Homo-oligomer: A and B are copies of this chain.
Amino acid sequence: MRDALVEAAFELFSERGFEQTTIDDIVSLAGVGRRSFFRYFPSKEAVVFPDHDGCLAEMTAFLGAADPAGDPVEQVCDAARLVLRMYAGNPAFSVGRYRLTKQVPTLRIHELSVVWRYERTLAGHLRTRYAARSDGALRADVIAAAVVAAHNYALRAWLRSGGEGDVGAAVDEALQLVVDTWGNGAEGGGGGGSQDDEVVVMVARRGTPMWRVVQGVEAALEG
């Protein structure tokens, strides 16, 4: 019945427009009662994003089961890819919804609240993993925002194009910027990578004072 309501709603939205369609119109076309609608959706806006509740639950379960020894930045990037998979799984629906959302301000605002819930879920995972850091909560919020921005950058480009090209590769490339910046392998990242193979090279100008060289040696050994 949920699917029938979504189908009826989108049929009417594309025929008459979102604003001109009432919930009564939707239940009438779907052949169900008004109370059935509200059993599934709190509002007319919510029927436009029927799949996000399920995806959020999947994301929460995914992060809850994540390896405590794994790179938390890689993990939240993988969690964001669950959202991508949902969009990419039904390109025609996703592109149609994108076009509808662009035209209707209340839907754009509703979408922001959907994105916000994902962002808080990612941030919650990172906050737990960074609990031992003095800047853990700040770092968690900043990285979660960066992951969402990178994911949506690639996703929106794909939606704007009408669903052309390999969105999975585009999202991977965008998320790589976040992993390179904040992941365990990054400068200033979580650390713990192996340095077995490392060769650090000295390049100093002639006449460099010895204290600068010593400082450099110390910094290199701490790195």
Report B-chain residues with C-beta under 8 Å of the C-beta of A217.
Answer: 201, 203
Interface residues on A, range: 35 or more
Residue A177 at the chain B interface, CB threshold 8 Å: yes
Given A181-B181, A199-B208, 20 extra CB contacts under 8 A: A109-B109, A109-B110, A109-B113, A112-B112, A112-B116, A138-B177, A141-B149, A141-B150, A142-B146, A142-B149, A144-B149, A145-B148, A145-B149, A146-B146, A199-B216, A200-B202, A201-B201, A201-B216, A202-B202, A203-B220
Question: Of B108, B142, B212, B215, which is within 8 A of A150 by CB?
Answer: B142
Return A35 CB to nearest CB of chain B, in Å. Answer: 22
- The answer to whether A180 has its CB under 8 Å from any CB of chain B is yes
Let me know if A135 is at the binding interface, CB within 8 A: yes
Partner of A204, one of B153, B174, B200: B200
28 inter-chain pairs at a CB distance below 8 angstroms, sorted by A residue, are A109-B112, A109-B113, A112-B116, A135-B177, A138-B154, A141-B149, A141-B150, A141-B153, A142-B150, A142-B153, A142-B177, A142-B178, A144-B149, A145-B148, A145-B149, A146-B146, A181-B182, A197-B212, A198-B203, A199-B212, A200-B200, A200-B201, A201-B201, A201-B216, A201-B217, A201-B219, A201-B220, A202-B220
A residues adjacent to B (C-beta < 8 A): 108-110, 112-113, 116, 135, 137-139, 141-142, 144-146, 148-150, 152-154, 174, 177-178, 180-182, 187-188, 197-204, 208, 212-213, 215-217, 219-221
Closest-by-CB residue of B relative to A154 is: B138
Which of B139, B180, B199 lies in contact with A202, CB distance below 8 A? B199
Complex formed: what's the CA distance from A55 to B142 in Å? 23
In the complex this chain forms, how many copies of it are found? 2
From A181, A208, A221, residue with most partner B Cβ within 10 Å: A181
